[in-house]
Structure 1
């Protein structure tokens, strides 16, 4: 606990320095020793730029990558916490970053422009892996079991009041009370809110009045649902705040949402030059289930912990580092 307090104090100092424009807080890596991840001579001093999106799960996954690669001896540049999926992805395809965790469904629908999701997780992975490599030179490593998909969430009281068990049940709510909280990015995506309404046979502006939809940041979305600011909210299934706020997830009974298994994606030039990177992440990915990542997310969003420390502590608990 004392060592952790020292690290937290150091982070505060780094944040203060950042305000003066001298050093990005995101670059901090806590002290680690090799565990099952041993220094790899062929990676010694190799520069690897790791990026991520800005939401909690992406930050945790990004920091896991930073810590793991550092333990293996790479010279890691931490470029995590990029605002917006497209911006983070563009940094990879443009060559400004080398590696990031991505989701199979996001790759398939948002980046590769496909309109039909593939319900089978393995087939979805294989399809996005093959097409993205062919079109963009991006290598997808085998995915983790965690599936950060979307669903509609409600308070337990709202679910019981209207008898909500599936997403189709949202039509049980009278139109005037059929209100939604949705984050800004997800609102207009084909695999997001407007796409979901269409997939479930509802017309935006008629079955769901425009004034019934509140768009907000993911940082306040879950608390807004819990506080009753909307009847339903579009949330991700691995978010740690679901259990903490006692929210109910509705079943995607029409199987609209794609599989969103998380996988490490790498520029092909880097993956081909350093195949050892795939061997580093294989056992890490295998350990990342829905339950595991939900608990790690909760440590940040509910307990107020720091993503890089959450990542480091989990890697320690699994013996990857010490």
Structure 2
């Protein structure tokens, strides 16, 4: 967090941001006025930099943060739409970004280099929170929303597949019904498709398990359409993706807890948080409202209906009584 008096310092930071690949998003953010979110005393003129990655959910969450912080009285620099996890992470650990939303599983497995996820979501968050203090980052309490991997089936086929609701029930189906659509990354990951099948008692390439001809490897977006059109029974999805709702797909329960937890948390530079501890209360008004269902709806409004992330963010915040339109 920086004051207007530090303009030269901010300009230098902007240069560094460009150097490590950070890009400013479209700067459009609709104006807002206080409601449940009220101005914080003493922050007028304080500059705070908000970042996000460049996929739909992150753009929406980034705009939610921008709107909340502007409503609270900060002078917000919008650095959302950073192209990729690595430069977004660099922006935070280098002190160039004050706040981002991040995923517990991403931090644990990718940033911190751990190999075994923690099954309990709260314990996973606490492990990340504690480890990240050494990196100068403070993780605030996570949302219920968990953007992890899953498999989904078109809803109209559920009854034809014996009323299937869990991944373990796939092994009870005839071999010819065990058809999958996956993207290339998930198909090849050490923690991806093959170990997932093994966790559920199936072996890829086994005539009595999942024959290789039963698996289609597609681009990520094409997986959703192929699943909806019945090209496969089970498609790899992300649990907060708006296309789940838009295409009326049913997500199967990961009843053996194979997939890591990717709960969403607001992450702050510890220096910024120590200067402005009221930020915990600010984001504490927002985070408990973020569920998988909410994010599926918001993501669909951008990915399916073509709305702007800033408009979607503001309208949701207004509907929750957090802010008013200005």
The TM-score bracket by the shorter chain reads: 0.7 to 0.9
Aligned-partner SS, 1:67:
helix
1:10 is matched with: none
Once the two structures are TM-superposed, the CA of residue 157 in structure 1 deviates from its matched residue by: 4.6
2:182 is matched with: 182
1:90 is matched with: 90
1:216 is matched with: 219
Match of 2:303 among 295, 301, 307: 301
* Cα distance change on mapping 1:286 and 1:208 into 2, 3 Å: same
2:143 is matched with: 144
> Runs of 5+ in structure 2 lacking a partner?
1-22
How many angstroms apart in 1 are the aligned matches of 2:212 and 2:286?
Answer: 44
* Cα distance change on mapping 1:157 and 1:198 into 2, 3 Å: same
Equivalent pair of 1:99/1:265 in contact (CA under 8 Å): yes
Equivalent pair of 1:166/1:251 in contact (CA under 8 Å): yes
2:114 is matched with: 114
* Cα distance change on mapping 1:76 and 1:195 into 2, 3 Å: farther
1:7 is matched with: none
2:167 is matched with: 167
> Runs of 5+ in structure 1 lacking a partner?
1-22
Give per-residue Cα distances to partners, 1:72-126, cap 9 Å, x unaligned: 2222222222333334323322333221111222222222222332222222211
2:314 is matched with: 312
1:264 is matched with: 266
* Cα distance change on mapping 1:174 and 1:209 into 2, 3 Å: farther
How many angstroms apart in 2 are the aligned matches of 1:43 and 1:268?
Answer: 17
How many angstroms apart in 1 are the aligned matches of 2:94 and 2:204?
Answer: 35
Match of 2:276 among 258, 274, 294: 274
- When normalised by structure 2's length, the TM-score is 0.79
How many angstroms apart in 1 are the aligned matches of 2:187 and 2:268?
Answer: 28
CA RMSD, 1 decimal? 2.8
* Cα distance change on mapping 1:232 and 1:275 into 2, 3 Å: same
Structure 1 stretch displaced more, 183-192 or 312-321? 183-192
1:124 is matched with: 124
Aligned-partner SS, 1:314:
helix
1:254 aligns to 2:256 (yes or no): yes
1:69 aligns to 2:69 (yes or no): yes
Equivalent pair of 1:47/1:74 in contact (CA under 8 Å): yes
Aligned-partner SS, 2:287:
helix
How many angstroms apart in 1 are the aligned matches of 2:84 and 2:213?
Answer: 24
- When normalised by structure 1's length, the TM-score is 0.80
Equivalent pair of 1:110/1:191 in contact (CA under 8 Å): no
Aligned-partner SS, 2:240:
coil
How many angstroms apart in 2 are the aligned matches of 1:208 and 1:82?
Answer: 40
